[in-house]
Amino acid sequence: MGAIWHGGTFPLDDFNHRAAGCLNGHLGMEIIEAGDDWIKARMPVDERTKQPFGLLHGGASVALAETLASQGAFATVDPATKAVVGMEINANHVRPARGGFVFGEARPEAIGRTTQVWSIRITDERGKLVCISRCTLAVIDRPKD
């Protein structure tokens, strides 16, 4: 099976550039790799992403997971005619992270005409599981500008 991306390759640089002024950029998220059917990002565990007790905020993990699922799903559709929006996300927070970076890797479980389901694993710098998440997205007609 070949790459799942519309146009053949994942637009890594384009997504990072577009995200700089959004939540992704404010939290320091950066997509760092993409394969034929997966994408990987990193996010710092710092004052932007920690809760008051010094641990990675669960909401920051969920934001990373949904970012990966949304950007992955969007990269599979024709951006001239379709958009992708989140419908549901769940997350199990398995282990705390206190510093450094966490890494999220997203893979599709199902790519349908109107819905997609993605699984996202977030690990720390030692490769230990921090959070596991699943996100369901709707594929919709692109809104008229």
Active site residues: 66
Contact present, 6 and 71 (Cβ < 8 Å): no
Distance CA 119, CA 129 (A): 13
CA torsion through residues 126, 132, 138, 143, sign: negative
For residues 127, 130, 136, 137, the Cα torsion angle rounded to the nearest 10 degrees is: -70
